[in-house]
Amino acid sequence: MNKLTQTIAINSESKHHACSGCNDEIELDFDFEYAFQPIVNINAKTIFAHEALVRGPNGEGAQTILSQVNNQNTYKFDQACRVKAVKTASEINLEGMLSINFMPNAVYRPELCIRTTLEAAKKYNFPTKNIIFEFTEQEFIEDSSHILGIVTEYKKLGFMTALDDFGAGYAGLNFIADFQPDLIKIDMGLIRNIDKSKSRQSIVKATCRMCEELNIKIIAEGVETKEERDMLASYGIYLFQGYLFCKPSFKANGHVNEDAWI
């Protein structure tokens, strides 16, 4: 799946808006909901987190909602998304942590734009320590110092950070050198058929060694076969996401396929 079509963001046109607090009455011309896909710990056989993925009110695909977002409503959509992700996670007693996508270039002042999330977490009694913010490597990073400010502010407030789609975008190893997120998600392009690809095996093994030295946890995303799972597990990776384990569950916790565990 294309994470860019599922990312919740404030675009450059929204930088002139003042960030506001939690508001269940944010007015939009359309409704939306969330599906949640588990990220599992295969060693403990538990759910580590769920990633929140935008869906239509009846479970329609993300694009049916994102096609209605424009320069006039993007800021409101972003605020509504942050609130709804936390609210829904609280309502369904989400198992594990909650992972929310965002685009770094859209956050112009992290200490202000995070208020919506903080107030929603307080209102719905959802611990901030259970929230992960994923930022995608597929977005061009205009100002590296700005990203450092976001990561620093989010960590200071108790949020975990994750770099999504590692190996597929602009930032590459320079990004890891400058910013050490808590987690990186290896792009599914490197995961697919890794059991049959020597080049993918070499790249992922090198990434594992690097992350071990930097104390960064790895999530293998888009895992679809047991052969992929076994190869990745042999490198010491134990956090997995993908259809092998569970597809996204609409407004509900995911239930991991029992035969997906090692």
What domain range is 97 assigned to? 3-256
Give domain status of residue 74, yes or no: yes
Q: Which two tokens stand for residue 141?
A: 């990073």
The CATH number linked to 216 is 3.20.20.450
Give domain status of residue 202, yes or no: yes
Q: Which of 77 and 185 is assigned the larger pLDDT?
A: 185
Q: Which two tokens stand for residue 109?
A: 């002042």
Amino acid in the structure at residue 118: L
Name the DSSP class of 129. G
Q: How far is CA 1 from CA 21, 62, 122, in A?
A: 31, 10, 32
Give domain status of residue 236, yes or no: yes
Mean of the per-residue pLDDT values for the chain? 85
Task: Count how many domains the chain has.
Answer: 1
pLDDT in tens, 93-112: 999 999 998 766 556 567 76
Residue 39 · residue 96 · CB < 8 Å: yes
User: Would you state the torsion angle of the CA atoms of residues 119, 120, 122, 128, taken in this order, to the nearest 10 degrees?
Assistant: -100
pLDDT at 140: 53
Cα-Cα end-to-end distance for the chain: 25
CA neighbor of 89 nearest in space, from 51, 62, 116: 51
pTM of the model: 0.86
Give domain status of residue 262, yes or no: no
By CB neighbour count within 10 A (0-12 exposed, 13-18 middle, 19+ buried), where does 80 fall? buried
pLDDT in tens, 132-181: 998 865 555 566 677 778 888 888 888 999 988 888 765 567 778 877 88
